[in-house]
Structures are given as C-alpha cells and as structure tokens.
Copies of this chain bind each other. A is one copy, B any other.
Amino acid sequence: MSRMVAYMGPTVPLHRIVFDPPHNLLEQARHPREMTYADFNADGFGVGWYAADGNPACYTMDVPIWHDLNLQPLARSLESDLWLAAVHHAREPFTWSRADAQPFCDDELLFVHNGFLAEFAATMRQDLRAFISPEIETSIEGRSDSEHIFGLLRHLLASDPELNMETAIGQTYELIEEWLYDRTALVNVLISDGERIFAGRHAINADCPTLYYTTDDEAFPDGQLIASEPLTESGVWQPVPEDHLLVLDPEEPPELLAL
C-alpha cells in the first residue's frame, strides 16, 4: 500500500510537494489519515519526473522517506512541471527490496500503483508473464504485483501503436479482473506520458482506496494535483469517483471517464 501524489503545472522544486504542504508526502508517510491496510509507510519511497532530455527519471529508495539525508538538498534543487511521487508500506516487508520502490519508468512512461493483487505470486503472475512480450518480461526487475501491472500496460501499448492510454488502462484492468477470479484487487494508479497524467481509482471485490484531485489549490497556483490524501486543508480537493479514470491535461479541464 502507498500514498501517491501527482503534480502538473508551472515548474516547481520538489520540496513544494514533499515537504511544504501541511499534509505533505512525508506526513502521509508518518501519519496517513485514510489508509485502511496500514498505519504508516516506512518501507520506501520515490519520485519521478521528466529530465531535460525529455526522458523519464526516477529517484527511489528502500528506506523510510524521513531517513534519506539526500532528499532535502535534492528537493531544493530538482525542478519540474510534472511530478509523481509515492511512499510505500510493504505487505510482505521481509521480501521488499529496492526494486519494488516506485515510481517505475520505461523510456516514456512514469507509473505508480497503490494497492495490491491478492495472492499475486501464487496465481496471476504466471498468466501475466506468459502474456507479455519477452522483451518486457525480461525488463521486470523485481517481483512486485505493481511492476507487473506496469509491464502489462506497457505490453498492451507496445502491441498496438493505435491504442490510446485510456483504453490501455481499461484493458489492463479487464485483464487483471479476468486473471483474478474471485480474489481481491486494489488498483489505484498514476501514469504519465510526459504530457498528461492519468489517475485510475479502481478496486475489484473490495472498496477503492481514496484518491483526490484539485485544479484550484492556492498553494499551487495554476497547478493540477492528484493525491491519495489532500496535501492541504484548502477544501478544494474532491474525490475521484470510484471506478473512474481521471485525465489531467495542461490545456484542458480535468476529464473523468467511467471504467
């Protein structure tokens, strides 16, 4: 389980997301308010952005976010007009590793998953790995359900150049449901292609984890944000409806699509 944050808008340094708001990512790690499967997020964290060369970049660590002495100088120095970030609570902490810290990235996309696929390793993992291309299968570094979901999405996109992201996310959810039988899945995701941010709020045989967004928080002028829990007390955050996909575009109003 995780707490996730996404930002799109004017270029801001990382500390504006991680440290400055009253209920910032660090606070959501230490004192989350709306987590149902964990009390804190001490197993790792990460941030993702697009570098000057236009490619995704990720900084991930397998320690509590408040342990990382480098985060403060980096948060004063790294700037971007698009951020994804997460703090993690491992369901199986003794097998958690650095390779499980998110965001994940490939050559184009940033990806964060909050939730879990019940009994993943014993069940769906085989089907999923057999379904995706060898190139993508080989590129999976860890053993988390989250990285495999990202692999599945990448496979769908790579298999059909015409496929748009909204449909690919929908198909990903469908395949998960098919392979899941009657087990439980919590599958909130944040995805970016560098232009837009896609946020899915979805669960199967369970309640959806929380997910909020705002385009009107005075702490982030002209910014659009998504977060597991509102970063501020400003009251302008609203929930993403359950089983919906939210699309943020710098030039368009937020779009909500039923899954």
Q: Please report the C-alpha to C-alpha distance between residue A95 and residue B99 in the assembled complex, in whole angstroms.
A: 10
A30 surroundings in chain B (CB, below 8 A):
39
Whole-angstrom distance between the Cβ of A97 and the nearest chain B Cβ? 6
Tell me if B143 and A121 are in contact (CB < 8 A). no
Q: Which single member of B69, B93, B141 contacts A66 (CB below 8 Å)?
A: B93
Residue A183 interfacial (CB < 8 Å): no
Tell me if A62 and B52 are in contact (CB < 8 A). no
Tell me if A78 and B76 are in contact (CB < 8 A). no
Q: Please report the C-alpha to C-alpha distance between residue A39 and residue B53 in the assembled complex, in whole angstroms.
A: 35
Residue A73 interfacial (CB < 8 Å): yes
Q: For window 91-146 of chain A, which residues contact chain B by CB distance below 8 Å?
A: 93-99, 121-122, 125-126, 134, 138, 141, 143
A64's nearest neighbour on chain B, judged by CB, is B42
Residue A40 interfacial (CB < 8 Å): yes
Tell me if A76 and B94 are in contact (CB < 8 A). no
A58's nearest neighbour on chain B, judged by CB, is B73
Tell me if A97 and B94 are in contact (CB < 8 A). no
Supposing A40-B39, A125-B138, A138-B125 touch, asked if A64 and B93 sit within 8 A by C-beta, the answer is yes
Supposing A13-B52, A43-B64, A126-B134 touch, asked if A70 and B76 sit within 8 A by C-beta, the answer is no
Known A39-B39, A77-B78, A97-B99; further 18 A-B contacts with Cβ < 8 A: A39-B40, A40-B42, A42-B42, A51-B73, A52-B76, A55-B76, A60-B69, A60-B70, A62-B67, A66-B93, A67-B93, A67-B94, A67-B96, A69-B94, A74-B78, A97-B97, A97-B141, A126-B134
